[in-house]
Amino acid sequence: MTPFTEKVIAIIQRIPTGKVMTYGQVARHAGSPRAARQVVRILHSMSRSYHLPWHRVINAKGQIALRDDESYQEQRMSLEAEGVMVGLHGGIDLEKYLWEPACMEH
């Protein structure tokens, strides 16, 4: 596993209940600001084995990015169960719910 992948997993594991981060934000904190798509791949391939709270990671527009209806609904319900208000078209208020880690080890 690459150091970047290890950092991404550690960051996602730390996202508190009721908060979200964007793919790009996770990539930036892991040391590769332009690797948002890699964060998506890591989430897709490692969420189950590392018990990642994948539902807390959204796109830069503050929206659920999943296109598959079943996965979209699962992410929406998981966020709402944690108290995150999800608006029409999967929109989430980043000013209210975005988590910015105070200090991340790089």
pLDDT in tens, 40-80: 999 999 999 999 999 999 999 999 998 889 999 999 999 99
Would you say 29 and 70 are in contact if contact means Cβ atoms under 8 Å apart? no
**How many residues are there in the chain?**
106
Band the pLDDT of 106: cuts 50, 70, 90.
very low
Band the pLDDT of 88: cuts 50, 70, 90.
confident
Would you say 97 and 84 are in contact if contact means Cβ atoms under 8 Å apart? yes
% residues pLDDT > 70 (the chain): 96
pTM for the complete prediction? Answer: 0.92
